[in-house]
């Protein structure tokens, strides 16, 4: 899937520093795994090993299992992140990203296979998408290869359902549990951010 916004709806304030930092950090970790592949086992999240490797609930968010896994997630991070960061500010953007990634990992710990190793930023990215879907649900976006625009909330929820179903049908290693946790975190964050935005607008 590939997304694009209608440019007239794009916010033009704020800094993209945190987005660029996260993009760079993910690429650095990926290069490290190319040099030392065993790092995946040290920094990836395995629920059964969490008591012995507690840092993996955070470090796994910056690890990726392959080039296309990385590129897809980084494209979505830039797409959602650049909009949300300019909309709510750097601190709140980072809070949504990190909390979404951690809650996604907690969902995987509770619902996923105990000996599977999960890596990737998808939970955090679904949190960004969920927050935006709550704050700007009617924002029109394009999803490749669908030729017509659709509301953002449809794209985000539809993306979650599509990835979950394709993972089940094709028996792919897609951590839908992490996606679900991140999406829930984003929807909750977006609800409160939207309320805050309205209070500021009418104060």
| pLDDT tens, position by position, 44-83 | 999 999 999 999 999 999 999 999 999 999 999 999 999 9
7 pLDDT tier (thresholds 50, 70, 90): very low
pTM comes to 0.90
Residue 172 DSSP code: -
- Tell me, what's the pLDDT at 109? 97
| Confidence category of residue 147, pLDDT binned at 50, 70, 90 | confident
Kindly list the strands in the beta sheet with 150-151, ordered across the sheet, starting from the edge strand earlier in the chain. Answer: 2-5, 140-144, 150-151
Query: How many angstroms separate the Cα of 153 from the Cα of each of 41, 90, 104, 106, 190?
Result: 35, 23, 19, 24, 12
User: Does residue 199 register a pLDDT over 90?
Assistant: no
Quote the DSSP letter at residue 64.
-
Confidence of residue 8 (pLDDT cuts 50, 70, 90): very low
Q: What is the CATH number of domain 51-202?
A: 1.20.1540.10
Residue-averaged pLDDT of the chain: 90
Is the model's pLDDT at 172 over the cut of 80?
Answer: no
């Amino acid at each position: 899937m590939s997304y694009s916004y209608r440019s007239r709806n794009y916010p033009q304030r704020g800094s993209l520093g945190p987005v660029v930092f996260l993009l760079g950090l993910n690429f650095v970790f990926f290069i490290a795994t190319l040099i030392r592949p065993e790092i995946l086992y040290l920094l990836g999240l395995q629920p059964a090993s969490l008591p012995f490797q507690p840092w993996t609930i955070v470090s796994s968010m910056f690890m990726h299992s392959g080039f296309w896994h990385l590129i897809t997630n980084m494209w979505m991070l830039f797409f959602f992140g650049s909009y949300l960061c300019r909309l709510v500010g750097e601190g709140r953007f980072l809070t949504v990203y990190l909390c979404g990634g951690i809650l996604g990992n907690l969902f995987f710990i509770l619902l996923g296979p105990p000996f599977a190793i999960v890596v990737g930023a998808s939970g955090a990215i679904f949190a960004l998408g969920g927050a935006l879907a709550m704050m700007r649900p009617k924002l029109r976006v394009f999803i490749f290869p669908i030729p017509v625009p659709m509301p953002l909330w449809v794209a985000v929820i539809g993306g979650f359902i599509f990835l979950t179903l394709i993972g089940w049908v094709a028996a792919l290693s897609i951590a839908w549990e992490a996606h679900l946790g991140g999406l829930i975190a984003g929807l909750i964050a977006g609800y409160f951010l939207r309320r805050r935005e309205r209070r500021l607008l009418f104060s």
